[in-house]
């Protein structure tokens, strides 16, 4: 049956993460593999009330087809919040509501990528972005991400040799590494890209989940004409409603809108209305503060357990926010080998391999701390430390 399919679909990597999630159905297994927000922190009662109000206020309008741009009041709310929280001026007319930020990636690929065109991508990088862009068969141009952001010398080298249509970044609390681009790194990137026609994708699902350090300047402020800013309510309200957005300069916005119409006409506006009503009637900052307090505590606990239970040669990033940290095994060990031992110890995580476009046997691995309480983190990291030591003996 192989030849029946498009070439593009053969290029899309399977979601290893989804495969792993199957293992995690065993309740005795502690999972640091997930990429989910903590369900205990969903504002369930508030959303229930918002839903009742939406039914009451809007009648049958909420059931009909709607516009492809998304609900204007929600787009105005998003623009207002950017101004108040980040001092970022965005016109609501430049905000397109999407089915989560993931769809933003698909629409950007549709609108901008010809086959074989360059996409600069973080390594390690977000698997969902690799999947979304693979559909359009680009040439991936990997650039190494470390504690400060992307490797600037590497980026300069890429820009001098290649023409990239897009550069994909998660500058705040990156998935998978948990790192945040420094102020300096951001400004240097903006400088390096200034002489090019490259659009920078600033994917910022975790930006509001900062538990230490200070906020950095968004790329959308540094290079507004060349930035496509993606946002989402998935990590600060609920992910299941599938409401995210793209902020794009007008010429790109207009084409994204055509792509949106062709893709699915419009995002469910019932859930858009509910989220908007929820935002109007509740203190979202207080809610985010609760999430940040929980995730911050869990991250600190995970880091202190790593200090206690992991061999000293295992290194880890120290995130200032978000949901993930990134460990690295010493000389010669691979995270896939560790995974196989860890499953036997009843703890799982995501090995580094799928976060690379270049097919590596990665020594690194991603740990999620948002979904696991502190006591379970202690037990899980202890188990993982045991697996690492077993791997060391094997090797």
Q: Give, as ranges, the residues between 122 and 161 that touch its own copies (CB under 8 A).
A: 128, 131-132, 134-136
Judged on CB neighbours under 10 Å (0-12, 13-18, 19+), 63 is exposed
* CB 43 to its own copies: min, Å: 9
CA distance 365 to 14: 18
113 sits near its own copies (criterion: CB under 8 A):
yes
Size, binding site for its own copies by CB under 8 A: 73
102 sits near its own copies (criterion: CB under 8 A):
yes
Residues 151-210 that bind its own copies (CB under 8 A): 165, 197, 199
* CB 18 to its own copies: min, Å: 7
For the range 179-182, what are the long-range contacts, defined as Cβ-Cβ under 8 Å and sequence gap of 24 or more?
A: 179/145, 179/146, 179/147, 179/148, 179/149, 179/317, 179/319, 179/326, 180/149, 180/213, 180/216, 180/319, 180/320, 180/321, 181/148, 181/149, 181/150, 181/216, 182/148, 182/149, 182/216
- Residue written as token pair 């973080």: 122
6 sits near its own copies (criterion: CB under 8 A):
yes
- Contact region with its own copies (CB under 8 A), list: 6-14, 175-183, 209-217, 380-388: 6-14
Please identify, using beta-carbon distances, which residue of 66 and 316 lies nearer to its own copies.
Answer: 66
The answer to whether 379 and 30 have CB atoms below 8 angstroms apart is: yes
281 sits near its own copies (criterion: CB under 8 A):
no
Please report, for residues 67, 170, 248, 319, the alpha-carbon distance to residue 210 in angstroms, rounded to integers and kept in the order given: 34, 14, 25, 9
Count the neighbouring beta carbons within 10 Å of the beta carbon of residue 247: 28
370 sits near its own copies (criterion: CB under 8 A):
no
- Contact region with its own copies (CB under 8 A), list: 82-90, 99-107, 145-153, 290-298: 99-107
Count the neighbouring beta carbons within 10 Å of the beta carbon of residue 222: 20
- Residue written as token pair 């207002």: 80
- Contact region with its own copies (CB under 8 A), list: 214-222, 234-242, 294-302, 339-347: 234-242
Residues 236-255 that bind its own copies (CB under 8 A): 238-242, 251-252, 255
Q: What is the CA radius of gyration of the chain?
A: 21
Please identify, using beta-carbon distances, which residue of 127 and 303 lies nearer to its own copies.
Answer: 127
Please identify, using beta-carbon distances, which residue of 75 and 242 lies nearer to its own copies.
Answer: 242
Please identify, using beta-carbon distances, which residue of 131 and 172 lies nearer to its own copies.
Answer: 131
Q: What are the structure tokens assigned to 151, written together?
A: 């490797």
CA distance 105 to 118: 15
Residues 291-330 that bind its own copies (CB under 8 A): none
Question: For the stretch 29-53, what's the b/e string if a residue is b when 16 or more beta carbons lie within 10 angstroms of its beta carbon?
Answer: bbbbbbbebbeebbbeebbebbbeb
Please identify, using beta-carbon distances, which residue of 139 and 361 lies nearer to its own copies.
Answer: 139
Q: Which of 75, 77, 82, 100 binds its own copies (CB under 8 A)?
A: 100
* CB 163 to its own copies: min, Å: 11
Residues 6+ apart with CB under 8 A from 184: 148
Q: Which of 16, 24, 29, 51 binds its own copies (CB under 8 A)?
A: 51
* CB 298 to its own copies: min, Å: 17
CA distance 182 to 271: 35
277 sits near its own copies (criterion: CB under 8 A):
no
Q: Which of 26, 61, 281, 307 binds its own copies (CB under 8 A)?
A: 61
Q: What are the structure tokens assigned to 34, written together?
A: 């997930």
Q: Which of 23, 63, 80, 89 binds its own copies (CB under 8 A)?
A: 63
Q: Which of 57, 194, 258, 293 binds its own copies (CB under 8 A)?
A: 258
Please identify, using beta-carbon distances, which residue of 178 and 239 lies nearer to its own copies.
Answer: 239
86 sits near its own copies (criterion: CB under 8 A):
no
Site string for its own copies, 23-42 (x = CB under 8 A): -------------xx-xx-x
For the range 57-61, what are the long-range contacts, defined as Cβ-Cβ under 8 Å and sequence gap of 24 or more?
A: 57/277, 58/273
290 sits near its own copies (criterion: CB under 8 A):
no
* CB 38 to its own copies: min, Å: 10
Please report, for residues 49, 53, 321, 325, the alpha-carbon distance to residue 374 in angstroms, rounded to integers and kept in the order given: 31, 37, 16, 15
* CB 135 to its own copies: min, Å: 5
Q: Which of 29, 190, 268, 360 binds its own copies (CB under 8 A)?
A: 268
Question: For the stretch 291-329, what's the b/e string if a residue is b when 16 or more beta carbons lie within 10 angstroms of its beta carbon?
Answer: bbebbbebbbbbbebbeebbeeebebbebbbbbbbbbbb
């Amino acid at each position: 049956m192989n030849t029946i399919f498009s070439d593009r679909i053969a290029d899309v990597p399977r979601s290893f993460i989804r495969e792993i999630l199957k293992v995690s159905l065993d309740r005795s297994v502690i999972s640091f593999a997930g990429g989910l927000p903590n369900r205990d922190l969903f504002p369930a009662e508030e959303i229930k009330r918002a839903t009742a109000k939406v039914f009451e206020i809007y009648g049958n309008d909420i059931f009909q087809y709607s516009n492809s741009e998304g609900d204007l009041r929600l787009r105005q709310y998003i623009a207002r919040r950017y101004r108040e929280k980040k001092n970022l001026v965005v016109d609501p007319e430049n905000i397109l509501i999407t089915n989560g930020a993931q769809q933003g990636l698909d629409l950007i690929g549709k609108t901008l990528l010809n086959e074989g065109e360059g996409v600069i991508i973080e390594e390690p990088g977000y698997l969902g972005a690799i999947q979304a862009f693979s559909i359009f068969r680009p040439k991936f141009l990997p650039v190494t991400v470390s504690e400060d952001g992307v490797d600037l010398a590497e980026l300069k080298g890429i820009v001098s040799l290649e023409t990239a249509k897009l550069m994909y970044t998660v500058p705040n609390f990156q998935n998978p590494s948990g790192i945040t681009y420094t102020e300096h790194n951001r400004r240097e990137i903006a400088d390096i890209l200034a002489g090019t026609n490259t659009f920078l994708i600033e994917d910022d699902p975790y930006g509001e989940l900062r538990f230490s350090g200070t906020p950095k300047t968004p790329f959308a402020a540094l290079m507004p004409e060349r930035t496509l800013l993606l946002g989402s309510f998935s990590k600060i309200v609920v992910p299941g409603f599938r409401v995210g957005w793209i902020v794009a300069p007008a010429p790109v916005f207009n084409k994204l809108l055509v792509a949106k119409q062709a893709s699915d006409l419009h995002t469910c506006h019932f859930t858009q209305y509910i989220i908007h009503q929820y935002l109007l009637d509740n203190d979202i900052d207080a809610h985010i503060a609760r999430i940040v307090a929980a995730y911050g505590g869990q991250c600190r606990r995970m880091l202190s357990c790593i200090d206690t239970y992991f061999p000293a040669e295992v290194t880890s990033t120290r995130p200032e926010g978000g949901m993930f940290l990134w460990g690295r095994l010493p000389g010669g060990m691979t995270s896939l080998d560790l995974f196989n031992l860890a499953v036997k110890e009843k703890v799982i995580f995501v090995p580094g391999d799928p976060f690379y476009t270049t097919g590596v046997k990665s020594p690194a691995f991603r740990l999620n701390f948002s979904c696991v309480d502190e006591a379970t983190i202690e037990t899980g990291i202890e188990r993982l430390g045991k697996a690492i030591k077993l791997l060391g003996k094997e090797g």
